[in-house]
Structures are given as structure tokens and as C-alpha cells.
Amino acid sequence: MCWIHGSAQLSGRFRRWVGRTRKTTPALAHWNPSSTLCTAREIITLWVSRMVMFNLYLRGCLPFQDVFIHAMIQDGEGRKMSKSLGNGVDPLDIIHSHGADALRFTLAQMTTQTQDVRMPVVKDPATGRNTSPKFDLGRNFSNKIWNATRFAMSVLEQSSQQTTAGADPQSPGMAMPGSSSTNHGLVNEWILSRLAQLVSDSQSALAQFEFSRYAQGLYDFFWRDLCDWYIEAIKPRWDRTSPSVRCCWRVWIPV
């Protein structure tokens, strides 16, 4: 708090605006206005509304176009995480135990637009650090992507060897997705349709700040459609040299 004349009080956030002028600096012109502000709901009045008022007064425009009010991550008992309670999770500890990708995906998948989310916190007996089984989902998904990528690279390597040995990469069976040839086969047409639906749903989810729906859509497509169905469907014939199998190679690698 800031005391003025020994009686009136101004909050620290409000005090930053006192004495501001309409002078525009290169940095201000570059960053103001911005596109989106991501914040928590407890400072909507204390900070967000004042940013709007003062920016309108000093610059005559809104400081941002959209405000995303994210959910609050609580512990398993619904309490706010804090240092005093010792119920928080250090992101660096999660990166150490599960990986950075697991941390990113799990938090995106948990993000809701309104409702707070609970994250059970347990003590890792090996390290003595706080962790949560919630991050196992992201770790398992990262491992799934890694294994599928290894398989894709082996398919790509064999495809290159067979092309070098004499297979024509421009044959009808080697048509790329989106080309004039539609001789992809049922399984290839199916995965391409699922991919097109994923792209449409992802664009819609991101435009509406529905990050949980976006992350879950990626998870369902990659784990279920691509790995559980498509890869298993082409595995029995992936080492053959027929045009239909070469088409699977050319379809699956871009997917």
C-alpha cells in the first residue's frame, strides 16, 4: 500500500499509473494493444479492469482484445496451493520426473474455462519432492509419440531403400494426400478424414480458448485413431512392396 498525505491509500497496482502521460514509446507502440490477456479471476477488479480504464484514458483504445480467465489448480482436497501449506508442485520437479512435454500436455489437458481443477499431490519417496499422478497421463502420451515416431522412421527408411532399388515414387500407389489421385484405399481415406476432422476441431477449440478440448482431441486422434487402429491395420503388410502398401507409407508419414 502507498500512503498519500497520511490518510488516503492507493494500491500498488494503482500507484503505477499515477503521473503517467500520453507519451508513446517504441516499446509501447509495439506491444500495446496486445491480443490476449491470460489471468486469474481474483485480480479481474484489482488489475484487469484498471488496465482497461487507464489504457482507454491514456491511449484511447483497449489494451487487449480478449481476456482468458483460467482455472485455479487446487490440491486433492480443494485447497489453494501455497508454500505455507506445502501442498504445491514445483514445475522443475515435474520436468525432472516426467519431462517437460508431459508437464505441458497435462496442464493443457486440465485447463478449463470456468471450473477449478484438483490435482492430488503426493510425496515422491525416491526424491522427497511433491509430485502428482496426474502427470502420468502426459508422460505416457509422450512415450506413445516417441514409439510411433520410431516406427515411422523405420518405415521411412525402408521406403527410401525400396525407392533406391527401383520403386517408382511417382507411381499411382505413391500418391501424396491431397494430390489428384484418390487411390488411397479405405484405411488411408479413413485416417485422412479423421485428420481433417481433427484440424477443424482444433482450430475451433483454439479460437474459443478451449485448451482442454484441443489437447484431448490430439490425444484421441494420435492414441486411438493413428496408433490403435491405423498403424495396427498397416503393420501386417508394411514390409511388402505392393503399390497399396507404398501408398500407406506416403499417407502415414505426413499424418
Q: Are 51 and 20 in contact (CB under 8 A)?
A: no
Q: Are 80 and 118 in contact (CB under 8 A)?
A: no
d(CA 151, CA 145): 10
d(CA 165, CA 239): 14
Phi, psi of 68 (to 5 degrees): -100, 115
Q: How confident is the model at residue 162 (pLDDT cuts 50, 70, 90)?
A: low
d(CA 108, CA 23): 39
Work out the percent of the chain whose per-residue pLDDT is above 70: 73
d(CA 131, CA 89): 6
Closest listed residue to residue 60, CA positions, set 17, 19, 22: 22
**Among 155-159, 175-179, 206-210, 245-249, whose mean pLDDT is lowest?**
175-179
* pLDDT score, position 238: 62
List pLDDT tens digits, range 19-40: 566 777 888 888 889 999 998 8
Q: How confident is the model at residue 172 (pLDDT cuts 50, 70, 90)?
A: very low
List pLDDT tens digits, range 196-242: 999 999 999 999 999 999 999 999 999 999 999 988 887 776 655 55
* pLDDT score, position 82: 85
* pLDDT score, position 114: 74
Residue 134 has pLDDT above 60, yes or no: yes
Closest listed residue to residue 37, CA positions, set 190, 209, 183: 209
DSSP string, 115-150: S-EEE--EE-TTT--EE-GGGHHHHHHHHHHHHHHH
* pLDDT score, position 169: 45
Residue 179 has pLDDT above 60, yes or no: no
Q: Are 89 and 119 in contact (CB under 8 A)?
A: yes
How deeply is 214 buried, as exposed, middle or buried, from its count of CB atoms within 10 A (0-12, 13-18, 19+)? buried
| Residue in the block written with cell 511433491 | 130
* pLDDT score, position 133: 92
Q: Are 137 and 91 in contact (CB under 8 A)?
A: no
d(CA 95, CA 79): 23
Within the chain, residue ranges assigned H as helices are 12-15, 26-31, 49-59, 91-97, 100-110, 136-164, 186-207, 211-219, 232-234, 243-252
* pLDDT score, position 221: 96
Average pLDDT over residues 73-93: 88
Across the chain, mean pLDDT equals: 80
d(CA 76, CA 133): 11
* pLDDT score, position 163: 54
* pLDDT score, position 176: 39
Q: How many CB atoms lie within 10 A of CB 10?
A: 14
Residue type, 193: S
Question: Grid coordinates in use for 231?
Answer: 498403424
Question: Grid coordinates in use for 69?
Answer: 480467465
